[in-house]
Amino acid sequence: MKEETIKVKATWADPSALGLFGLGMVTLVASSQKLGLTDGLAFIVPWAVFLGAFAQLYASIVDGKLGNTFGMTAFGAYAFFWFGVAASWLIKLGVFGERLASDVDPRQLGFAFLGYLIFTMMMTIGAMETNKVLFAIFFFIDLLFIGLFLNSFQFMPEITHGLAAVSELVISILSFYGAGASVLNKHFEREFIPLGKPFGVFKKSVS
């Protein structure tokens, strides 16, 4: 009997809208605290974990299945950022004990922000060849990490805190816009909401 091999190809939808929605939600809630509109960290933690982390992690996994290295790396890296930040907040709040909370040095978190700033600057270059909305999101993430990094070392604290707060709110607005565009443009099969064409500075070489 001759054996036949049947290949089944799974179809995955573009996860960008979900990932951007998760980013938009967590930055909206987190920016409200930085801007002084709300107080405390306790109710930011769930949104950091479930929207900032899990939603973007899911988007990263799906982008990986679609062969999108840029999307997989970006969503995955920022998902783990929100996992790390949420854990840091829990330590600060004393969830894991007073001894651990008393050993906190915010400068260590500052070096984490520096690492993500370096990463984001590289991703910003890549975003130039996606669309202008995504590029703007990465640009303001750069500003966010500059503010967070400098503020962690108490460098011009009021100014750097304000830079981080405003940048985070702008990231939220742009992410909601990008999420809406990703869904509706696909749904209506046309450019219902413009995202802006790539800059065309780093064109792919044609072999």
- pLDDT tens per residue across all 207 residues of the chain: 567 776 666 789 999 999 999 999 999 999 999 999 999 999 999 999 999 999 999 999 999 999 999 999 999 999 999 999 999 999 999 999 999 999 999 999 999 999 999 999 999 999 999 999 999 999 999 999 999 999 999 999 999 999 999 999 999 999 999 999 999 999 999 999 999 999 998 876 555
- Count of CB atoms situated within 10 Å of the CB of 36: 9
Quote the longest CA-to-CA distance of the chain: 78
- Domain architecture of the chain: domains with CATH: 16-188 (1.25.40)
pLDDT in tens, 16-72: 999 999 999 999 999 999 999 999 999 999 999 999 999 999 999 999 999 999 999
Which residue's structure tokens are 């920022």? Answer: 78
Tokens representing residue 3 in the block:
């054996």
Percentage of residues of the chain with pLDDT beyond 70: 95
Distance of CA 183 to the CA centre of its chain: 18
In the chain, the N- to C-terminal Cα span, in Å, equals: 44
Instruction: Give residue 204's pLDDT.
Output: 64
Distance of CA 177 to the CA centre of its chain: 14
